[in-house]
Chains A and B, each alone.
Chain A
C-alpha cells in the first residue's frame, strides 16, 4: 500500500504575482503509484507483495516547503534497491483546477481568471498509529500481471497511428475490426450513449524494456442506464463484463473501456447547423470530469486506455483516445492494426 508522511498545500497566485491564498489539498497519489509499478514491470523487476510504496517531496530549495514535484518509490523483491519515478508539480494541476470553482464562488477569483500555483509539502500530522479502517488489517497482495512476450517494433511496423502521442504513454494496439464494432454499437445506440470494455493482453518486449497493451476485443456493456448525455455503468455492468471475459477463456484482462458521445444529437438539441457538426468542439477530444472519474475509479493502471466514439455525422464516427502519462490523464495515441 502507498504511504506518505507529507501533506500538500497549494499557494495560489494571480498572474501578476498577487497571493490569493494557501489551501491544503488532498492528492490522489494512486495513479503515480500505478505508474511506478508499471516501470517496474517494464524493467522486469518484481514489486514486493505486501511491500510499501512511499511518496517523497522533491524540494525546490533545501528545507522546503516549496516542491518542484515528488518521487514515488516501491520496494522490490529479489534485488536490492527500489524502483522510483519523479513526477512534476503539474501532477497537482487537476486539484488546483478543482479549487478554482470555490474560489470564484467566494469572490477570490474572477470567473475565467488565470492563476498559478506553487506546491508545498509539510510533515503530515501523526494519527497516533490509529487504525485507518475501523481496525481491519488490509495488506495489498496484488499478483504480478501475466505478461506475454512480444515485439513492439514488430507490431508497430504494420500499424497506423490514431491520435497524438503523449510523452511516455504506454503503447497500445487495437485491431481495426474492434474499432468497426465500436462504430456499429455507437450507431445502433444513437441518440443514446453506449459503451463497453476493451480486453486483451499485456505484452512485454524484453529487449526494449517496454510493456504494452494489445487489445483483442470489445465487450459491449450490459445493464447500463443511458441517456443522450450520460452513461451509468452499474455494479451489474462490471460483474457481467467479468463473466463475459471469463467465458471467453482466453486469459484476457480488462485493458480499458470505451463509450460514445452522440455529438449529432447534442448539436441537434442545441439547434446547431448540420454543416458544423463535424467541426463541433464536443466531437473532438472531449473527456469530461465524469469520464475522468470512471477512468480513475476503474482503470487506474498505467496501461489503461479510454476510447471515445464521437458520432459526429451521418457518415462519420471519429475516435478520441485518452490515458495515463506519468500518472496524469490526457489525450494519447493508439496503434491501429
Chain B
C-alpha cells in the first residue's frame, strides 16, 4: 500500500529571480508536472500571470542542483528531490 510519503514531495525551496521572495513548498504530488507546479505556485508567491499585453507569462523552473531549466512536462517525482532549490525565471519582454 502506498503511503503519502511516497506520493508527494516536500522540503522544496522555491524563489523568484531576485531571491527577494522565497517559499518553502511541500506536499507536491509526484505525478504533478513541473509546469503544473509552477502554475500552482504563481498565485501563492504573488507572481504575475500575465505580461504587459495581458498574455500569459511563461515561467521556467531552474533546478540549482543540476544547473538546468526543467522541462514543463517533467514530473516532480522524476526531477526533484527533497531539499532541492528551484528558481522561477520568466520569459518577459520590455519594449515601447
> Interface residues, chain A, CB within 8 Å of chain B?
1-2, 28-30, 33-34, 132-143, 145, 193, 195, 227, 229-236, 238-239, 241-242, 253-254, 259, 261, 266, 282, 286, 288-294, 296-301, 304
Contacts and interface: CB of A to CB of B under 8 A. Distances in A.
B7 to A, nearest CB: 11
14 contacts: A133-B44, A136-B44, A138-B25, A140-B21, A238-B89, A239-B89, A259-B94, A261-B96, A288-B94, A290-B93, A294-B93, A297-B57, A300-B21, A301-B18
A137 B13 CA distance: 12
Contacts of A282: 96
A233 B91 contact: yes
Interface of B: 10, 13, 16-29, 32, 36-37, 40-41, 43-48, 50-53, 57-60, 62, 69, 87, 89-96
A239 B20 contact: no
Contact of B96 (A232, A236, A286): A286
B37 A143 contact: no
A137 B27 contact: yes
Contact of A288 (B22, B50, B96): B96
B94 A138 contact: no
A296 B21 CA distance: 13
Contacts of B18: 253-254, 298-299, 301, 304
A33 B16 contact: no
Contact of B24 (A139, A229, A233, A261): A139
A235 B34 CA distance: 15
A41 to B, nearest CB: 12
A289 B44 CA distance: 24
A230 B93 contact: yes
B92 to A, nearest CB: 5
Contacts of B51: 290, 293, 297
Nearest to A31: B46
Contacts of B28: 136
A141 B22 contact: yes
Given A195-B94, A231-B95, A253-B18, A239 B52 contact: no
Contacts of B41: 133, 136, 138
A138 B87 CA distance: 15
A136 B25 CA distance: 7
Nearest to A299: B18
A232 B93 contact: yes
Nearest to B60: A235
Q: Which has the most chain A C-beta neighbours within 10 Å: B10, B36, B46, B94?
A: B94
B37 A136 contact: yes
Contacts of B40: 133-134, 136
Nearest to A291: B94
Contacts of A33: 46
B23 A139 contact: yes
Contact of A266 (B24, B46, B96): B96
Given A33-B46, A232-B94, A298-B92, 6 more contacts: A133-B44, A137-B25, A140-B23, A286-B96, A290-B51, A291-B52
Nearest to B45: A138
